Amino acid sequence: MEEVLGQAAKSSDFRKMTPLADEELITLYYFSSLVDGSKASEWLLQPLQEHRCAVDDAIALRACLPFQNVTFTHDPQVVETALLAGCILILLQHKDQPCLLVDVHHDSLGLRQNNETENEFSVVGPKKGFVESVDVNVHLLRTQMQVPELVVEELTIGSVSKTRVVVVYLQGVTNEELVGTIRQRLEDIDFDVLFDSSQLDQIISDHSNTPFPLFLSTERIDRVTYAIISGQVAVLANGSPYAVTGPSNFLDFFISPEDYYLPWILGSFFRLIRLTCVILSIFATPLYVAVLTFHFEVIPDNILVPLIESRMHVPFPPIIEVIFLEITIELLREAGARLPTKIGQTLGIVGGIVIGEASVRAALTSNILLIIVALAALASFTTPIFKMANTIRLIRFPFIFLAGLWGGLGIVAGFVLLMGHLLRLKSLGMPYLVPLFPFRGGNFTDSVIRASYLYTTTRSIFLRPQKLKRYSPAARREKPDED
């Protein structure tokens, strides 16, 4: 015990205190930066001074303290862990008595009070999101799913950070194999400091050498709730406002919670637009390079003349022209994201207009390509999940280089390689392209489109849930008008 206290005493925020001024019957040790001073003064010091007769017996002293979390121990390792978690160590004068650990950590210091979603905004639907406290996040989930079957398992990860990580699932619905797999992968982690749940996403993924996210990371409570009731597993880490859900497939990253708050026809329409925008964002500029470099014959005659006039004074080949504009767009996007909000918006608008206009006037690029690049950039913004949007931005560049080398053949070769890579990917052992491959026709009611609630009564088959039925739609009956 002396070794633990000696090591802690090297820190300037470590305190030693004797609450009974005239006697040294008990001694308190704690880190002042971790404990709640008002809670310790009102609920701990005052009872100790009022019950002086109980300070000789640890059990009697425990009965005098108005705390639920009080631990008896002789283990120095337990004492060290508890002190660093915000507990106060109470040492009695009698060495044969166990020491007491009282939990008085500051549970609100440094935490933001606002829990609105910032990066996954939706016009319709709830605006509540997670915060950096795992206890608050579990509370938010339990208020949304008020059933005893909601199981929360806690682990500690990080040899230095000792980060609390919880696994949340619905017992009787979620496949036990999935729960066991994710529990085992988390328990096997040997890491020093865990800053965010996004690190867990990468550490426990089935394939680390891929730009595609294999777990869905979100700050929205409704998205995590829907994943849990569908049979998925959620992982939350203390200090992170994001939850990780899995197993996830490719189509999950193009589903917005707003789809379920709009009529199903509108929700399906917007979902199809997002999937179409992915294709446009990836292949628009590579097709421009391939056509202008190798395949002039596919351009209609009425478009060929304005295209030639647009590129008449451009001294660079199409691939250099495209890379110049694409990198310019990426620079504007990164600069706008790193700067304060108002400055970033101004930079994005003014910079885009000024650089685009100046590039065309200086004959560094054609105005037609400027339109195509702008459309491709807008299309990438329609992806609801930021990680997948970044992936789409990245894989566009290999297609541009392949189009510049071999034209349409290069684009086809790149597409074959991309599909081969996607077919190899798995999330917690589940194929990444399901329900497209392996084909599961019964799951298309809530994947490519969002069907009516009358037809989304069952959970996804590929998740192998223990309970397939979600709900039973009530029969709609028209009541006669009453006079």
pLDDT at 476: 54
Residue with tokens 């394939």: 207
51-55, 233-237, 282-286: the lowest-pLDDT one: 51-55
- Looking at the structure, do residues 243 and 280 belong to the same domain, yes or no? no
Four-CA torsion 336, 340, 341, 347, nearest 10 degrees? -40
Q: Say how many C-beta atoms besides its own lie within 10 A of residue 274's C-beta.
A: 17
Whether 218 has a pLDDT exceeding 80, the answer reads yes
Q: Among residues of the chain, what percentage have pLDDT more than 70?
A: 92
Ordered DSSP codes for 371-418: HHHHHHHHHHTT-SSHHHHHHHHHHHHHHHHHHHHHTHHHHHHHHHHH
Q: Among residues of the chain, what percentage have pLDDT more than 90?
A: 42
- Looking at the structure, do residues 288 and 409 belong to the same domain, yes or no? yes
- Looking at the structure, do residues 67 and 17 belong to the same domain, yes or no? yes
**Final residue in a domain of this structure, among 215, 248, 281:** 248
Between CA 27 and CA 374 the distance in angstroms is 68
- Looking at the structure, do residues 276 and 379 belong to the same domain, yes or no? yes
pLDDT at 61: 76
Average pLDDT of the chain to the nearest whole number: 86
Between CA 125 and CA 267 the distance in angstroms is 13
- Looking at the structure, do residues 244 and 279 belong to the same domain, yes or no? no
**Residue 62, in any domain of the structure:** yes
Whether 49 has a pLDDT exceeding 90, the answer reads no
Q: Residue 244: in which H helix or E strand, if any?
A: strand 243-246
Query: What total number of domains does the chain contain?
Result: 3
Whether 416 has a pLDDT exceeding 90, the answer reads yes
pLDDT at 483: 47
pLDDT in tens, 270-308: 999 999 999 999 999 999 999 999 998 888 888 888 888
**Residue 400, in any domain of the structure:** yes
pLDDT at 341: 66
Nearest in space to 100 (alpha carbons), one of 118, 82, 124: 82
Q: For the residues 260-271, what does the mean pLDDT come to?
A: 93
Whether 169 has a pLDDT exceeding 70, the answer reads yes
**Residue 289, in any domain of the structure:** yes
Contact 365, 359 (CB under 8 A): yes
Whether 180 has a pLDDT exceeding 60, the answer reads yes
**Residue 195, in any domain of the structure:** yes
pLDDT at 443: 82
Provide the whole-model pTM: 0.85
- Looking at the structure, do residues 278 and 338 belong to the same domain, yes or no? yes
pLDDT at 55: 62
Whether 1 has a pLDDT exceeding 80, the answer reads no
Q: How confident is the model at residue 51 (pLDDT cuts 50, 70, 90)?
A: low
Q: Say how many C-beta atoms besides its own lie within 10 A of residue 235's C-beta.
A: 28
- Looking at the structure, do residues 84 and 150 belong to the same domain, yes or no? no
- Looking at the structure, do residues 174 and 60 belong to the same domain, yes or no? no
**Residue 127, in any domain of the structure:** no
- Looking at the structure, do residues 307 and 243 belong to the same domain, yes or no? no
Between CA 408 and CA 400 the distance in angstroms is 11
**Residue 473, in any domain of the structure:** no
**Residue 351, in any domain of the structure:** yes
pLDDT at 478: 52
- Looking at the structure, do residues 39 and 185 belong to the same domain, yes or no? no
- Looking at the structure, do residues 91 and 163 belong to the same domain, yes or no? no
- Looking at the structure, do residues 293 and 408 belong to the same domain, yes or no? yes
**Residue 129, in any domain of the structure:** no
Q: For the residues 12-40, what does the mean pLDDT come to?
A: 80
Give me the domain span that covers residue 210: 134-248
Q: For the residues 7-25, what does the mean pLDDT come to?
A: 78
Q: How confident is the model at residue 312 (pLDDT cuts 50, 70, 90)?
A: confident
What residues form DSSP beta bridges with 168? 152, 234
